[in-house]
Amino acid sequence: MNQAIITGATGFIGAVFVDVLTQKNIKVLALGRKNYDEINLHKKQLLKGATYLQIDMREISLLPEKIEAIGWELTDSCVFYSLAWGGQGKLSDLNIEAQLMNVSWSVLALRTAKELKCNRFVHIGTMEEAFTSKYLDLDYHNNNEYNRHVIYSVAKIISKNYLKLISKELNVDLLFATNSHVMGPGDDKDSFLQMTLQKLIDGDELLFSEGNQIFDCICVSDLAQAYFKIGQKGLPGRDYWVGSGQPRKLKEYVQRMYDLYPSG
Give the pLDDT score at 158.
93
- Residue 90: pLDDT above 60? no
Average pLDDT over the chain, rounded to whole? 90
Average pLDDT (82-109) is 83
* Residue pair 80/97 in contact by the 8 Å Cβ criterion: no
pLDDT, tens digit (0-9, with 9 covering 90-100), for 15-31: 999 999 999 999 999 99
| Element of type H or E holding 193 | helix 192-202
The pLDDT of residue 6 is above 90:
yes
pLDDT per residue as tens digits for the range 235-263:
999 999 999 989 999 999 999 988 988 87
Looking at residue 208, its pLDDT comes to 83
pLDDT digits (tens, 9 = 90+) for 121-148: 999 998 888 778 777 777 777 766 666 6
Mean pLDDT of 1-17: 95
DSSP 66-121: HHHHHTPPP-S-EEEEE-----SSSSS-S-HHHHHHHHHHHHHHHHHHHHTT-SEE
Q: What pLDDT does 205 receive? A: 85
Going from the C-alpha of 186 to that of each of 43, 81, 153, 168, 221, the distances in angstroms are 9, 21, 23, 38, 12
